Structure 1
């Protein structure tokens, strides 16, 4: 909330001034979103990898969301599938990631389950559940299984570049 009103109100702002500044802040926010949407429609940033999955995210998502996804694709370089456990309907993978921590290399292992028949992937890192993007560990497992086309369930509508946002149609005087 503070960031939204930063530069518009202060502790001595009256109620009347607050309402006026709220309208101004909302108008500026809508204008910035229009500009960001226009930029997403008119520009594309290059992919960092040769994965078809990354290209699909690039063509679907806004620039800012695609940059988040792109970090996961570049971070996949530090991930290796080290073991698998076949189940009746799903396969469980242990994915080891090498990370820098306090100037030293540290290895962390993540557990990723994959159901081939519906291409469902779940990692115990839970990045998709919390931020709506696949983590590098899940991407590593999809790549390990030769999945090149990302399933639609992992392209969330709210970050698509071609979505019409209802709050953007609210008239601001």
Structure 2
């Protein structure tokens, strides 16, 4: 019996060690492209590398980040010379994208306000859901549109819960975002 339990413990230890090594190797592999592009990698992995900024969760910060991102992507995709009737449509396209970015940022801000209100409320189950949602939204690396979709889904879930204060706050936020 002792031999069997010793074998099982050894197998579990080996499995845990292999899993830890895979995690460490995965992190090391994700750093390899950064070190390969950096000619001064002896100074550190990220020395001289430009970090990719994460869009901020505040409304003003998200709006500024989105405008900067759209301007960079527009400059990168613009050919040197455009003429003709399509040029007017192309000039309108960034404005439409800017309006969409503004709408998404405003809705995400409204959702975060409602979730913060619910998280600070007296209803424990709804507060826990709202706090977890806020934590995931703040740590998410997804674009604002995906974060908004997630926030709307969670607000819809909270709008169906039996807690009256959380339900009313979630319904009001969903109406404001519509």
Same fold per superposition (TM over 0.5)? no
More strand by share: 1
Greater Cα radius of gyration, structure 1 or 2? 2
For CA contacts below 8 A with separation 6 or more, give which structure has more relative contact order.
Answer: 1
Q: TM-score, normalised by structure 2?
A: 0.26
Q: TM-score, normalised by structure 1?
A: 0.26
